[in-house]
């Protein structure tokens, strides 16, 4: 069952970098729909991507510190010894799998499903899901709490302010069409 703080998910860099996906992931976690996990490597990759996209080092560090302070138990440690023993299509993703194994995660949430072979992940008791599929699963299992988390996200968007339907359109434009459609049907 996904609605449980015991349901742990490692968030790959590509889902943390995307502002709207990250916000929805964090609001769902804040409402105890699941427990987010990430590693120092994932945070470093995120900071590097932000800097490549023109965000100052100071601002990038500030954003990473904010989520680490908001979710102090999210940071997975002592996983690096596993990296060398793993085999993935993209060597640069081995640290994500190592963190997931170390923390006994249930899922890796990523936009790069091809880099996490189903059978190989299953050998570690893991699966990978795209964020849109992950969100729809959570909404399906806990629609009231998911809607509450979504509405809280919208209320916290103040500069500029958005209404619920504007945010749904933004989510659709950010690859979360099924999530937005599902939430739309519930609000």
Instruction: Provide the edge-to-edge strand list for the sheet that holds 127-129.
Output: 75-76, 35-39, 8-11, 107-109, 127-129
Question: What is the architecture of the domain spanning 8-186?
Answer: 3-Layer(aba) Sandwich (3.40)
Tell me the H-state helices in the chain.
13-17, 19-30, 40-52, 57-70, 80-83, 94-102, 118-122, 131-141, 143-155, 164-173, 177-186
Grade residue 134 by pLDDT with cuts at 50, 70 and 90. very high
pTM for this structure? Answer: 0.93
Does the pLDDT at position 3 exceed 90? no
**How do the domains of the chain map onto residue ranges?**
8-186
pLDDT in the model for residue 42:
97
What is the average pLDDT across 37-58? 96
């Amino acid at each position: 069952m996904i609605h449980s703080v015991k349901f742990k998910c490692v968030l790959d860099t590509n889902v943390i970098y995307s502002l709207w996906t990250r916000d929805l992931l964090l609001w769902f976690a804040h409402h105890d729909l699941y427990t987010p996990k990430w590693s120092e490597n994932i945070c470093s990759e995120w900071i590097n991507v932000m800097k490549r996209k023109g965000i100052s080092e100071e601002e990038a560090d500030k954003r990473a510190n904010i989520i680490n302070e908001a979710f102090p138990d999210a940071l997975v440690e002592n996983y690096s010894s596993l990296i060398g023993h793993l085999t993935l299509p993209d060597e640069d993703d081995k640290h994500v799998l190592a963190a997931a194994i170390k923390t006994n995660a249930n899922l890796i949430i990523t936009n790069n499903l091809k880099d996490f072979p189903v059978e190989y992940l299953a050998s570690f008791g893991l699966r990978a899901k795209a964020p849109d599929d992950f969100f729809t699963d959570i909404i399906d299992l806990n629609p009231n709490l998911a809607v509450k988390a979504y509405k809280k996200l919208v209320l916290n968007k103040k500069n500029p302010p958005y209404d619920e339907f504007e945010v749904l359109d933004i989510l659709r434009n950010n690859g979360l069409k099924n999530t937005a459609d599902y939430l739309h049907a519930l609000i």
